[in-house]
Structure 1
Amino acid sequence: TINHLVENEAKVILISHFGQPKEKDIKYSLKPIGLKLEKLLDKNVKFLDDCKGGKIEKEIENMKAGQVVLLENLRFYPGEKENDLKFAKALAKLGDIYISEAFSVAHRNHASIASLPKLIPSGIGFLFGREIMALTKVKQNPARPLVVIIGGIKISSKIKVIEKFLSKADHLLLGGKIANIILRVKGICLGKPWPEEDVIKIIEKLKLTDTKIHLPVDVVVSPNESGEVYIRETGPGSVRKEEGIFDIGPETIKTFKKIIEEGKTIIWSGALGMAENEKFR
């Protein structure tokens, strides 16, 4: 999309986010991403250390056709995640047309995603379009076996994905916090917190005897997420009350690996363990 715009002599202003900063923090700056992008595009990318305001507006006004500019992390401003209209309007001043390539966060109610496209003419990029085409194919006529891997920490949204794919997928491989919650509600393992009532209702409908559903048969546990006290492998039913589950175990990996190798269509959403800590990888 960027190359297409450059070739057609557009002024390309890139906006994005990185991490979960509480305030402006250099470790979440997009400057290193700009340097990487220069190598990928084989073209100069000018990095600006803010994403709104008079200084940025002037820099953009002075851009030349075909030039690429990367703005600083939108999440340095609370208005981004709060979907603040004033913040969205400040972004809208910077361009004439909005093109989204943020497929993975298109569901978020953030200013640059939900409000900005309403303020100026908008559309989607080539990659976003390919994502939609791929999902449409999966929905209508997937190559089978269709294997859906679901992990991560967003319980309320992931449980709805599981419910939706129960009738479509040949195999559902579950890990991460969503699997832990299911095991907990089904009385297989101990632990907290307890999920919301609407999540419990969906989990109660799940039949663990359903051959489509594959939950961990062994897990990696520790008293805390640092893994510094000890780490051990055990069955879900043998998790102690002071322990947390931080990864799937080796037997589960073998089972999941075999199913994935035989799959013709794979959909994967979310990590199956605490990938942030190398001890649990």
Structure 2
Amino acid sequence: MGFRSLDDLDLKGKRVLVRVDLNLPVEEGRVTDATRVERILPTIEEILDKGGTPILLAHFGRPKGRDESQSLKIVAPALTRALRREVVFGADCVGPDAEAAIRAARPGDVVLLENTRFHKEEETNDPEFARRLAALGDLYVNDAFSAAHRAHASTEGLARLLPSAAGRAMQAELEALGKALSHPARPVVAVVGGAKVSSKLDLIGNLLDKVDVVVIGGGMANTFLSAQGHEVGKSLQEADMRETARAIMAKAEAAGKTILLPVDVVAATEFKPDADHVVVSAEAVPADRMILDAGPQSVARIAEAFDKAKTIVWNGPLGAFELTPFDAATNAAALKAADLAESGRALAVAGGGDTVAALNASGAGERFTYVSTAGGAFLEWLEGKTLPGVAALEA
């Protein structure tokens, strides 16, 4: 994978435009989770240590033009606390306000410019807007893998105009994903969960070409079970995707790949915490019940597959992890993968919004080799799609 890192740039005395992810959760005017800030600290601190001035570019929310309720000013205090140094805020990301903020920065300061999406030209990757951004810096560093699937001015356009490199968070993400799929140690086991087969078609198709075993869980598994002719009661399923599910299973068989579906399930009377439930065979789900989790025999089969694996890639929960006790399969499998990763027996990489929440709830997340917070970009990478922000750095 040919991309430059901070090691390849002379940062001393340079204005460094750094694309970061500061799309943080906010409640009542305060940031409630600063995880994404923690991820970018190594890049910012290294630029400062090497004599550069970090000028941060980011989006926040989905504004349609300038909208003060979606100003990045709200995240500046969280950034100041994490960095323990002055953050100079610019009231715009281009033009006089941006230039004034950069001039006001003293050695050791960090500059945060206003929401790039206040300008519609950001999302259209307008060349002139990209040039206006580029005029503010000498170098460009992309440390926002989570936005790398967007061909925007601050994620793709800038990399074409200035000497560019991946930041440390971006570098870690690309290296982890490269080890997991581009050149993995085998066998490779992929866990694919979630509600709908239709939303994961590209993902499953790409994974079948790259991995040895695909574990299918969550509501998706119900559609596959139904495609095999099993009754799934009141369970969530996509009846119109049964033929697609059968085609996926046929492709796997022809390629000598294994698809692991639940052999037993936890079937409940309703979708709520601690609902009345029973463990039954996946082939004998009562008509008045819904599948909310994989059963213990299914978890044992997943654990057995993990034991043989050298690489584990995880996207999506195995059941309704947000409801107890229907988080049991996800928790048990996640802890097994974490044990293998921690002992060095397997590389375990995970990502996706629900995935991160589920792994953190189980206590396994921090013990995985790498957990991506990138969401859509992580999913598109797994699907085998080209990410514009990454391709620009490679070029």
Length-normalised TM-score, structure 2: 0.51
The answer to whether 1:213 aligns with 2:259 is yes
Give how far 1:15 is off. Answer: 1.9
CA distance in 2, matches of 1:91, 1:74: 10
Q: CA RMSD in A?
A: 4.6
Cα deviation, 1:161-209, whole Å, max 9, x if unaligned, reads: 43333244243223457656656766766645957x9999667634499
**Equivalent in the alignment of 1:115:** 157
Measure, in 1, the Cα distance between the counterparts of 2:267 and 2:134.
Answer: 47
Q: Which amino acid letter does the alignment assign opposite residue 215 of structure 1? A: L
Please name the residue that 1:41 is paired with. 83
Q: Deviations over 1:113-147 (max 9, x none)?
A: 23232233322123333333334434465344433
Q: Which residue of 2 aligns with 1:83?
A: 124
**Equivalents in 2 of 1:68, 1:114: separation in Å?**
23
1:66 aligns with 2:108: yes
The one-letter code of the counterpart of 2:151 is: N
Q: Letter of the aligned partner of 1:56 in structure 2?
A: A
> 1:159 touches 1:199 (CA, 8 Å); kept in 2?
no
Contact 1:51 1:71 survives alignment (8 Å) = yes
Contact 1:88 1:116 in 2 (8 A): yes
Three-state SS of the structure 1 residue aligned to 2:101 is: helix
Task: Structure 1: state its 5+ residue gaps.
Answer: none
**2:137 and 2:194 mapped to 1: Cα distance?**
35
Q: Distance in 2 between matches of 1:79 and 1:274?
A: 40
SS of the residue 2:151 aligns to: coil
| 1:59 partner amino acid | A
Report the residue type matching 1:16 in the other structure. A
Counterpart of 2:313 in structure 1 is: 267
- The 8 Å contact of residues 197 and 238 in structure 2, kept in 1 or not, is answered as no
Sequence identity (%): 35
SS at match of 2:77: helix
Residue 66 of structure 1 aligns to a residue in which SS?
A: coil
Distance in 2 between residues matched to 1:22 and 1:75, nearest whole Å = 6
Q: Number of matched residues?
A: 272
Counterpart among 11, 21, 27 of residue 62 in structure 2: 21
Local SS of the residue matching 1:162: helix
Cα shift at 1:14: 1.5
Question: In structure 2, what residue type is equivalent to 1:83?
Answer: T
Q: Kindly tell me: are residues 231 and 253 of structure 1, through their superposed partners in 2, closer, same or farther at Cα, counting changes over 3 Å? A: farther
